Structure 1
Amino acid sequence: MPRASSSSTTLARGSVAMNADVLLVNLPPYESYYADGVPHLGMLYVLTSLKAHGYTASYLDCAHRITRRDEVLRAIEESQPRMVGFSIDTDNLLSAGRMSRAIKEELSPEIKIIFGGPASQGQAEEIMQNSAADVLVIGEGEYTAREVADCLLRGQGTLAQIPGICYRTEEGLVFTEARAPIDELDDILIPDHDFLPEGVRYAVNLISGRGCPFKCTFCFEGRMGNVYRHRSPENILTEIEYLVERYGRPFIAINDDTFTSDVAHTLEVCRLIKERFTPWEDLLLFCEVRADVVNKHPELVDALISAGVARVQIGVESADVSVLKAYKRLNVKPDVVESVISRFHAAGLPSLYCGFILGGPSETLASMQKTLDFAKRMVLEVAPGMFECNVSFLTPLPGTEIRSSPELYGVRLLDPDLVTSSNFNYCVAETQDLSREQINNFRRRFSMELDDAIIELIPKLPRHVLAAHARLSSDFDVATAYFNKFGRFPRMMEYFNLVGGAKGLPAASEFADDELLERFPTRLSHPISLEQDCVVIDSTPKHLKLNRIGSQIYGFCSGKLTGHEIAKQIASSQDSGGPGFDRIRADVVGFLRHLDGNYAVFHKDY
């Protein structure tokens, strides 16, 4: 087996036990950007179940795009596991298959290999044919995985007795009877984060429920059963308490798509969070909402925000009714979405993230333009400073209606096996009216015009709106589309790296006049210009040209003098007939506030 030439590694494997009974390996995706630094909750659930059942279990996190094959094999070999497991989705199906064969051929054919994951329900035969897996778990894995381990590692029972799997025999593949979805989710143990390696900063996430009652033609979320099952509010709060205790002030992503489907359940979760925490101080939350549900139950808006929800996602898909009809999304029409976006904006939500799809059924250049115009109006008129979005290509995944019958939707699959892409960022389908080139190029224009709209908007936004985006980044490591554009205004970026948030300095607005004068105003490091001996400050949202007195005050903002001492310096340079000290002092206070408000100075306390 080939070895790396260096001892350095990209693997986060600090928790991998030697001689583990079961090692679950989180492989890197081909293209997907969302896996790096995100714990694989499905694997943590299974690992926690195996541990409680008496197995030594470990987690090997390889979900980094620069991970090397030989590093993964060496880590597996050093662990000496009896069984290795992988979670399979459309994006890593081929690489997991190759890795399973390498384990059998280069390490030991005696190592048992178990597959599971979201692709199991739509691509079972393909997965088994392209891998060396001994067993494929189809559906939820917490109970099935330990039954498979009991059979293969402890010799208890036979694989044929285990519902919800596919396994190999000399005669071919055998599918056992289907396993029903787990009804009582509270019976499943909360994921144990001790399986995650130390010293790695992970996103914090949880799942409040499983299943989906909706039947969108482009989506595979219903694979786990159409009946939505949620954990009890108390059970969810138990996990939130665990995450807050473990991670401090976390930003917790509630990752299931249907968190707001049961309104009473959602409101009770929000009530319990407010009862047990101080939201916005102890924690922040992300969740996805259904626009039609929130439109019918507007009380959800204030409930979510008061519980610490700082970022919301809405699946909009399209602003064209004919496209929405083909998606079976007519309950989420543009007027409904706009109403909900407007409500969240009025309530002060910092970030609302919408997803759009291009190249769908019945799509034309006119329908794509309608969607772009809708998104731009949300940014510039309806929810400036809050609305942001992502636009992706229609990617008909196995198990979806459009993938099963593309001709019924006027879609031509250019790459049915998704070899060229499966993460929605590479065009793999055309419509009756649009070529791949047209769809691809329109998406590029869509993204560029939305970026330009946000850059155009930033100078017009109130300071507290920009500060909220900066705080999400500094305190909770959440980079919104607005914060990502701060780099266009480097002086403002430098300012927010120093001021605000849990660790930053206070802004001038937080001090009374006398208090501000006792602090030490300090210029930022970005270069200025001089025009006729007057200071010109750019690289901020607003271009500032200071007058003579203003330039003099700015010159004293070296961090060496207090505001009061600066006022004395200005007074000493005035002619005998100049303004009195009280007037100069007031002018200095006003000007320091003006400079701070325009990201030109910050105020130290020594």
Structure 2
Amino acid sequence: MDFIPETISSKPEVLLIYTQRMIRGRTFEMIENLGILTLAAQLNANGFKAKAYTGITTDVVKTIKNLKDRLFAVCFYCDFDNRSAVAAICSDLKKHEHFYVVVGGPQTLHMTKKDLKTYQADAIIKGDGEETLLAWLSARVRGEDVLIPGELRSDENADYVYLEDFAKYEWPRNEDVLEFKERPLLSVITARGCPYRCAFCFEGGNSKNLRLRRAEDVLAEIEERLKRSTRPRYLFFCDDTFTTHPVRLKQILAGLKALREKYDFVWFCEGHPGFLVKHPELIREMIDSGMVRMQIGMESGVADVLRAYGKQASPADIKKVVELCYAEGLPQLTGNYIIGGAFESPASLAETTKTVLALLELAPGMLDISTTFIMPLPGTEIYQHPEKFGITLEDRECLTNLEDFPVNHTGALSLPEICMARSRLITAVSNKMKQQFKEGLIPRARIYTDFKLAFNYGIAAGYLKFIYAKDPIMVAYYQKLIEYQGLLREWHELSEPEKNNAVIQMIPDFSLLDINGFSPVELDILAGAGRFTIAETAARLNCTPADLNIPLKSLSDRYLILFSAFI
């Protein structure tokens, strides 16, 4: 490109973008896109100045506009959800701007020559881009038009490029994020591809094979990135095959346990229930090495539906994993249920609802249940043969959908009925969670752990988001308890001597309280909080410390008081 000044041609600036047509605050913005971060690292190590940016479409357009005079190229990560947005932005950029525009990402697997016209990009590059994007951009810097592997051209299609040896490429660096500000979450990927072939999953439906990174390389990357961190981190293992290989998993777990002796972090992964029931001892090892949250595929409460999906796990397997995780003390286990999926009917919905509520009963305070509709992703069995699953696709390309409304119906249920079924299940789950909390079925140790994970690592589970955090008194209580760890204690932690000598500390401000809800003794206790021990308070009230046990426990149970060794 003749317009590029000599002053920037020695180190051309590249912006790598992942965008979605979604409102601010959605999950895709919270979890770094490791695809563009990895490419940025590779480009930066080879003569470019690359930054990665994730954001909603309107922010992306503004960001490009602000940087346009400096840019050599803008490269878009394209998946099924954002393809129409990427196409629109690319087409507009080519009409008004002069930098190169490149499209890559998983959706390119299904792109053909006709997509060159749709996207209007200078290049569509298919497959893993560590080598190909670098080669394409380097050729343009030299003024050469070189055809690279995976590049679509108008006169020929291209094969998707799969890389095998990841050890020779640069590790992603969070500092390569545009306007980087450190957050708790730190994404890591340990493999590409998937050995499973679930009918609804893009990775399983399109993977060439499972390509595992060596355990020592994964651990070395994690340590290097933790070294550059300045706060506690939440490692988020993005690949859904983390628990596929038991020997390699044990190596990673041992390494994580050793790293936690030097760095403050906890971690999340996805686990396969079929694998975990065969290796139940690994759950304990995973927790001991820092796992605080895990996701398993649940999908449906009906065994025949899971078989149709090719899930390789049964409702009984899922139930067993829930029981094991709860018994071992895992703080959070999450799972997703597909509503309106294979052979869905009123009967299957009733069975799924019954299953979900039974799982919640088995593990009060641990489960974080989510729901979704079928997304007919290209290359999957449901996309190619929906009739095998009793599904009729009304909008195969999901152009009318932002994952908020179904695009299919079944023989027994219409689109509106499927939509309402999801709402009813969410309500049933929510009511069950609220009932468990109201009846005191959730152990306080679990509640404390959820708040600690939220305050220290930015992990907000369902019970916390939808129940605990709604109560400002409860939030203030745990914020103080965690902030002054060791200095403030709960009632149940006090020894008998301490139930005489401990100083009562009131936590919430009086403005948050309805004083009509307290007995005269309780009001007296609250009025003297922060100034008197339990024994001194008893003397003021002309009673014994033992006489205060009931009101003190009541106030503690309502998250109103904590105890300290001194004023």
TM-score (norm 1): 0.84
Counterpart of 1:85 in structure 2 is 75
Q: Does 1:191 align with 2:183?
A: no
Q: 1:437 aligns with which of 380, 393, 416?
A: 416
Match of 1:143, as an amino acid?
E
Match of 1:21, as an amino acid?
E
Match of 1:43, as an amino acid?
I
Answer whether contact 1:37 1:201 (CA < 8 A) is retained. Answer: no
Give the alignment of 1:60-209 within 5 angstroms.
61-64=53-56, 67=59, 69=61, 71-78=62-69, 80-108=70-98, 111-125=99-113, 127-155=115-143, 158-159=146-147, 162-167=148-153, 172=154, 174-179=156-161, 181-196=162-177, 197-199=179-181, 201=183, 203-209=185-191
Unaligned runs of 5+ in 2: 1-7
Q: Does 1:283 align with 2:274?
A: no
Q: 1:450 aligns with which of 422, 429, 444?
A: 429
Counterpart of 1:383 in structure 2 is 363
Q: Percent identity?
A: 25
Alignment CA distance shift 1:515-1:72 (3 Å): same
CA drift at 1:479: 0.7
Answer whether contact 2:94 2:121 (CA < 8 A) is retained. Answer: no
Answer whether contact 2:20 2:55 (CA < 8 A) is retained. Answer: yes
Moved more, 32-41 or 264-273: 32-41
Q: 1:506 aligns with which of 488, 502, 509?
A: 488
Counterpart of 1:477 in structure 2 is 458
SS of equivalent residue, structure 2 residue 170: coil
CA drift at 1:156: 5.2
Answer whether contact 2:190 2:239 (CA < 8 A) is retained. Answer: yes
Match of 2:167, as an amino acid?
D
Match of 2:501, as an amino acid?
L
Counterpart of 2:14 in structure 1 is 22
Q: Does 1:562 align with 2:532?
A: yes
CA drift at 1:37: 3.2
Q: Does 1:262 align with 2:262?
A: no
Unaligned runs of 5+ in 1: 1-15, 537-545
Alignment CA distance shift 1:223-1:116 (3 Å): farther
Counterpart of 2:5 in structure 1 is none
**RMSD of aligned residue pairs (Cα, Å):** 2.7
CA drift at 1:125: 4.8
Q: Distance in 2 between matches of 1:120 and 1:198?
A: 28
Counterpart of 1:10 in structure 2 is none
Q: Distance in 2 between matches of 1:523 and 1:337?
A: 40
Q: Distance in 1 between matches of 2:122 and 2:145?
A: 16
Q: 1:315 aligns with which of 287, 297, 300?
A: 297
Match of 1:118, as an amino acid?
P
Match of 1:92, as an amino acid?
N
- CA displacement, residues 82-140 of structure 1 (integer Å, 9 cap, x when unaligned): 221010112221221222122222222xx221111111112445643321211112111
CA drift at 1:410: 2.2
SS of equivalent residue, structure 2 residue 216: helix
Alignment CA distance shift 1:309-1:82 (3 Å): same
Alignment CA distance shift 1:127-1:383 (3 Å): farther
Match of 1:409, as an amino acid?
F
Q: Distance in 1 between matches of 2:485 and 2:104?
A: 43
Answer whether contact 1:295 1:336 (CA < 8 A) is retained. Answer: yes
SS of equivalent residue, structure 1 residue 267: helix
SS of equivalent residue, structure 2 residue 132: helix
Q: Distance in 2 between matches of 1:455 and 1:112?
A: 53
TM-score (norm 2): 0.90
Q: Distance in 1 between matches of 2:200 and 2:265?
A: 34
Alignment CA distance shift 1:17-1:357 (3 Å): farther
Counterpart of 2:539 in structure 1 is 571
Answer whether contact 1:291 1:332 (CA < 8 A) is retained. Answer: yes
Alignment CA distance shift 1:66-1:150 (3 Å): closer
Q: Distance in 1 between matches of 2:430 and 2:241?
A: 29
Q: Distance in 1 between matches of 2:273 and 2:9?
A: 45
Counterpart of 1:43 in structure 2 is 36
Q: Distance in 2 between matches of 1:95 and 1:301?
A: 41
Q: Distance in 2 between matches of 1:224 and 1:249?
A: 36
Q: Distance in 2 between matches of 1:124 and 1:603?
A: 68
Match of 1:355, as an amino acid?
N
Counterpart of 1:5 in structure 2 is none
Q: Distance in 2 between matches of 1:322 and 1:119?
A: 30
- CA displacement, residues 328-355 of structure 1 (integer Å, 9 cap, x when unaligned): 12x2110011011100110000100011
Moved more, 303-312 or 235-244: 235-244
Alignment CA distance shift 1:218-1:568 (3 Å): closer
Q: Distance in 1 between matches of 2:9 and 2:533?
A: 59
Q: Distance in 2 between matches of 1:92 and 1:502?
A: 45
- CA displacement, residues 310-367 of structure 1 (integer Å, 9 cap, x when unaligned): 00101111111222222112x2110011011100110000100011101112111111
Q: Does 1:601 align with 2:535?
A: no
Match of 1:497, as an amino acid?
Q
- CA displacement, residues 47-106 of structure 1 (integer Å, 9 cap, x when unaligned): 1111222222223x251476273x13422314x222210101122212212221222222
Q: Distance in 1 between matches of 2:221 and 2:276?
A: 25
Alignment CA distance shift 1:64-1:555 (3 Å): same
Q: Does 1:420 align with 2:400?
A: yes
Answer whether contact 1:84 1:112 (CA < 8 A) is retained. Answer: yes
Answer whether contact 2:193 2:210 (CA < 8 A) is retained. Answer: yes
- CA displacement, residues 140-175 of structure 1 (integer Å, 9 cap, x when unaligned): 11111111112222245721xx212213xxxx3532
